[in-house]
A and B are shown apart, each in its own frame.
Chain A
Amino acid sequence: MARLSVQLGPLVLRNPVMSGSGTYGHGREMALMCPPRHLGAWVSKTVTLEPRPGNPMPRMAETEAGLLNSIGLENRGLEYYLSEILPSMRDLDTLVVTNIGAECVEDFGTLAARLDGEAAVDALEVNLSCPNVGGGRLPFSTDARMAAAAIGRVRAATKKPLFAKLSPNVSDIASIACAVEAAGADGITAVNTLLGMKVDWRSRRPALATVQGGYSGTGIKPVALRQAWMCCKAVKIPVIGCGGIASADDALEFMVVGCRAVQVGTSNFSDPSAIGNLAQAIEHALDQACIADLEQWIGSFDNPRALAGA
């Protein structure tokens, strides 16, 4: 039987399946739909320093092969997260990753410093890439210097493992990946949503109140896979693949190109319990393909000979 545990920088995940930020609750809400022990790690919705009410409605629209959203990071802010949510996460039977977001470097630092002392938090994921704030300008994920500044500030404020979540809305993701690696990130999550929009030509109205939003789901998988692969090739730190992943096959596609773990986002909405069966499905697929050593097999896409004799 395949061993599913993977090393992710300083962390060991019991399996490579993680939830995607903003798509699987903020605390323990989904524990009845998916036993936490079935996940390698669980990721919170983005926490910001101040409460954010989110964007106006409509905030979501479905397209032919995916979903557009402009939630706008609705959350009750750091103080609420610390007092109301984190205490209940202490004994969660999986690793807890807190995703943080901010619009300036200082706030990233403050968030990381406040979370540094929290035992319930196993790692931080830094959301450099939300397209739904600041009009989709994505300052922290399109400019390598800004990305490095944010990650550098977080690094200085915490000893916790830290992952940088990157945007696919760039022409050269490798340069951003290298910048956050140099600034001290322990890993990279690739990728957040693609910028997109939907209109009704008859009414001449946009589907989202903010006109543009983040595109996710099945349709973005090829783009996400390529961006994740570019990151895998560019850096030595581990990469977590994300974008359109719904099945064991999807997950293993990201892993063969080098991702050490995967995150499931939009597909949680199709069936909120499916993520709990994904690790087992991956194990089954690996067994069927006679792959016993997952660690060694990860990334073998670029160098099939490395596996000769395996």
Chain B
Amino acid sequence: MPAPPQDARSRVARVVRCTPCGADAFVLELDPGEELAPVRASRFFMLRREDGTSPLVPRPFSLYRQQRGNLEFLIKAMGRGTRALVSAPAGSKVRLIGPLGNGWPTIDGDGPDWVMLAGGVGSAPFWMGIEQAQQGMDGKTPVRKQQVHLLFGAASSDLLYDFKGLAGLGVSAHAATMDGSHGHRGHVLSLLAQLQASGKVPERVRLLACGPERMLEATAHLAFERGWDAWLSMETWMGCGVGICNGCPIPTRAGGPRAGWPNVKCCVEGPVFHVREVDLARRVGAPT
């Protein structure tokens, strides 16, 4: 049975600060008490306040940034769990379980260009994804500026969390909003089609996507249609994050590399899956 990663620990961290970001999110900065080795982008942590104000079960969040020994999370206020976290006062204690999950595949500079599709708070795992790809991952060729295209989509411009900061990392960055308040009007995949039609993005690409379920479904569909490689950073309800509750199944794809069992555990076998591994069509009741 898949175990939590070797470097995962359960520890108590201190809140350094919690700063608003966009209309409904916050950047929660935590001091983990001891320096963690660099964490691969799109790995995550389970977080829960220690003072009794959080629900029983901790909540999963991608690592947004790791700097000065501290960990930052981009958290969109949704329900009880996220609201408790974003209102945690400086100095208060938070249970920090991780780092968990697998993270992005090797984002290298050797094959087709990379297109990063970020939907709303799904932009969180891309900040470090860009930084690590530029530094070179797993000993592979670092990506150059023009090899990575970040397409950030949201309902409106105030939900493009720190788009400026992301764009400032030195990639070709484009925004799409449903209401047209910033950049392309429409979703990220219609933006991709437009960029490819105008020659700004090459015809053959590799996709990395994180965002709402419908965006991931459309991404998987497109990848199959064109024969592109695509990896999805998936979200499910998670009870534990470490593989012990069986609450995070994602159906596997018939005939795919994981077809030996009907489900994978998103927490310990993901959250990043190649589109050939999972079957989003059989996924009912996923968070939308």
Please name 5 further chain A to chain B contacts, defined as beta carbons within 8 Å, in addition to the given A67-B57, A272-B242, sorted by A numbering.
A59-B246, A71-B247, A76-B261, A271-B97, A273-B10
What is the chain A residue whose CB lies nearest that of B5? A32
What is the chain A residue whose CB lies nearest that of B12? A271
CB of B236 closer than 8 Å to a CB of A: yes
How many inter-chain contacts with C-beta < 8 Å in the A-B complex? 111
The smallest C-beta distance from B97 to any residue of chain A, in angstroms, reads: 7
What is the chain B residue whose CB lies nearest that of A73? B246
B57 touches A62 (CB 8 A): yes
- Of residues 183 through 212 on chain A, the ones whose CB sits less than 8 Å from some CB of chain B are 209
CB of A11 closer than 8 Å to a CB of B: no
What is the chain A residue whose CB lies nearest that of B3? A29
Q: Among the interface residues A53, A209, A267, which one has the most CB atoms of the partner chain B within 10 A?
A: A53
CB of B204 closer than 8 Å to a CB of A: no
| With known contacts A62-B57, A74-B263, A270-B56, A25–B237 Cβ distance under 8 A | no
CB of B8 closer than 8 Å to a CB of A: yes
| With known contacts A27-B1, A33-B4, A60-B237, A268–B244 Cβ distance under 8 A | yes
A67 touches B239 (CB 8 A): yes
| Residues of chain A lying within 8 A (CB to CB) of residue B55 | 62
CB of B285 closer than 8 Å to a CB of A: yes
Of B10, B261, B263, B283, the residue contacting A272 (CB under 8 A) is B10
- Of residues 15 through 33 on chain A, the ones whose CB sits less than 8 Å from some CB of chain B are 22-33
A24 to B1, CA, bound (A): 12
A23 touches B244 (CB 8 A): yes
Of A32, A57, A65, A209, the residue contacting B8 (CB under 8 A) is A32
What is the 8 Å Cβ interface bit string for chain B, positions 89-118, against chain A (1 contact, 0 not)?
000000101000000000000000000000
B10 touches A67 (CB 8 A): no
Interface size class, chain A: 35 or more
A28 to B283, CA, bound (A): 29
Of B2, B57, B262, B285, the residue contacting A209 (CB under 8 A) is B285
A60 touches B245 (CB 8 A): yes
| Residues of chain B lying within 8 A (CB to CB) of residue A53 | 261-263
B4 touches A32 (CB 8 A): yes
Q: Name 6 A/B residue pairs within 8 A (Cβ), A-sorted.
A: A32-B4, A33-B8, A45-B246, A59-B249, A60-B237, A61-B237
Of A33, A60, A65, A267, the residue contacting B247 (CB under 8 A) is A60
Q: Among the interface residues B4, B10, B247, B249, which one has the most CB atoms of the partner chain A within 10 A?
A: B247
A57 touches B236 (CB 8 A): yes
A28 touches B249 (CB 8 A): no
| Residues of chain B lying within 8 A (CB to CB) of residue A36 | none
The smallest C-beta distance from B271 to any residue of chain A, in angstroms, reads: 15
| With known contacts A30-B244, A266-B56, A85–B97 Cβ distance under 8 A | no
What is the chain B residue whose CB lies nearest that of A27? B1
| Residues of chain B lying within 8 A (CB to CB) of residue A59 | 246-247, 249
| Residues of chain A lying within 8 A (CB to CB) of residue B239 | 60, 67, 69, 269
CB of B253 closer than 8 Å to a CB of A: no
| With known contacts A32-B6, A58-B237, A269-B245, A217–B286 Cβ distance under 8 A | no
A272 to B10, CA, bound (A): 7
CB of A139 closer than 8 Å to a CB of B: no
